[in-house]
Amino acid sequence: MAQGSKTGLIILIVFCVIFAATTAILFVLHTQEHQMRIEVESELMVLKNRKAQLEKQLDKIEKEKSAVELELSKAESKVSMISEKLELEKKYRQQTEDKLSMKEEELNSLRSELKRFKTQFSQLQERYNELSQKNEQLSNKLQQLRLAKKVLESKMGVSGAISEEEEGVSLGTVVVKPDEPEKEGRSQVLQGRVLVVNREFNFVMVDLGKINGIQPGAIFGIYHAGELIAKAKVEKVYDDMCSAIILDEGKKAEVEEDDRIEVL
């Protein structure tokens, strides 16, 4: 009986020890879990604060970027001002090397932007000049074709001339191209160019007219590559051009547009 009581007591003690150990382990685990949760929540809070700071910095950078873009138009004047400011900072703020380096980079960036804008402006200006020249050439060619058609209609007995309103375009002024290098002693000779050659009706359109003192019946010499190839007689005279009949009909095939014309 006494032996059984001792055994039961031992079992009870062992059970209590196991229970106490289990309780202690669970308490430790619970404490560790609670501590880990606090640490995770703390880290999460730090990350949230960091994220908010980054978003604030990003917003600030975007605003600064917008401000810089607005000031690019004044870049030339600001370049000088920033350069002077940098020199002052180099004298009185030697300790702020990092900040000074950032401002130098900003200055170089502004200079690069300014250079790029100047290059783009130059390219656009060249393109504009090119398009203006092409537009003027097309206007001149249109006027030449109108007058050539008018001469053709006159020769074929077709009545009525095309009005500028019907064409819906504005005609430019014919531009006389620079003459070929002239031989000494010919600088006083009135010269022009062949605009249109019509071999079917044996006539040419020339960029000399009333404003140049040309009159019906005047005789032209037609030169190709510096050599006289044919002669032509003025038939109709307009303000800045005229039509002329090729006298040497056998040589009309040799006459080409842009051949040089001299009044004989």
In the numeric block, the tokens 């656009």 are attached to 124
Report the C-alpha gap between 164 and 209 in whole angstroms.
20
Write out the two tokens for 127.
């393109």
- 3 state SS for 54-79: HHHHHHHHHHHHHHHHHHHHHHHHHH
In the numeric block, the tokens 């393109």 are attached to 127
**Residue 101, SS3 per DSSP:** helix
Of 163, 262, 160, 253, nearest to 220 by C-alpha is 262
**pLDDT string in tens for the chain (264-residue length):** 566 677 878 888 888 889 888 888 888 888 888 888 898 888 888 888 888 888 888 888 888 888 877 877 788 787 888 878 777 777 777 777 777 778 788 889 888 888 886 787 777 678 778 777 767 776 776 776 777 777 666 666 543 443 343 343 333 333 334 444 444 444 468 999 999 998 888 899 999 999 999 999 999 999 999 999 999 999 999 988 999 999 987 777 789 999 999 998
